[in-house]
Amino acid sequence: MWDSRGDHVDLEKGNRQGLYPSMTESPDLRWGFIRKIYAILSIQMLLTVAVAAVVVFVHPIARFFVSSPAGLAVYIVLCLTPLIVLCPLYYYHQKHPVNLILLAVFTVAMSFVVGLSCAFTKGKVVLEAAILTAVVVVSLTLYTFWAAKRGHDFNFLGPILFCSLLVLFVFGLIQLFFPLGKISVMIYGALGALIFSGYIIYDTDNLIKRYSYDEYVWAAVSLYLDIINLFLTLLTLIRAADS
């Protein structure tokens, strides 16, 4: 293949500068993979915003979940559905079209959880959390691409973030059964925001260097969970501070 200047372009080896110094695969193929991931992620985010907006602005939906035992049962099912769907999604994440169907179910269930979290929160708090999330995600994504270009590797963050997530989970259980007050809720939200900010860097670095081309669904799920959890922890932090 020839470019506009008459130079030969080998798509197998790539003719553009790599995304990181030791890159051996084709930058064109990797960039195509990255664009595919962010296209899927954008659709997930738009679906989440649409479903959450319906839950927030159609008041009978939110009232149903808090005013009846049946609504509470449906809410619990919706909260558990993403966790349940993750197992077959991980197993079938390379099998089309099953992976896309499971991805849609997972995204819709998560969207309901986000919508219900926002339905009983002040609009100002939701807007602040959304703006902060957008700024953090864009900033950390750009930083990770910049750092990878200069040879930095963030694979070492994996074990650290996993241990931190376990601590956050136990802290959340303690807070659930033995409430420690507003300050502890703010600490929980701040720690969660830091942890999921780290996961955005870690998963973006994996997207650039380690995910294979047929793992596009799982890569999108990882980044989607990072963004949603960052938003929910920031929402928890700001809501506690506002109260």
Residue-wise pLDDT for 19-66, tens only, equals: 888 888 888 899 999 999 999 999 999 999 999 999 888 888 878 877
Range of the domain at 75: 27-242
Average pLDDT in the chain: 87
pLDDT tier, 182 (very low <50, low <70, confident <90, very high otherwise): confident
Residue 15 has pLDDT above 50, yes or no: no
In a domain, residue 17? The reply is no
* Domains of the chain: total: 1
Q: What is the pLDDT of residue 77?
A: 84
In a domain, residue 18? The reply is no
Q: What predicted TM-score, i.e. pTM, was given to this entire model?
A: 0.89
CB burial readout 194-222, b (16+ within 10 A) else e = ebbbbbbbbbbbbbbbebeeebbbbbbbb
Q: What is the pLDDT of residue 235?
A: 94
Q: What is the pLDDT of residue 10?
A: 45
Residue 17 has pLDDT above 70, yes or no: no
Q: What is the pLDDT of residue 178?
A: 81
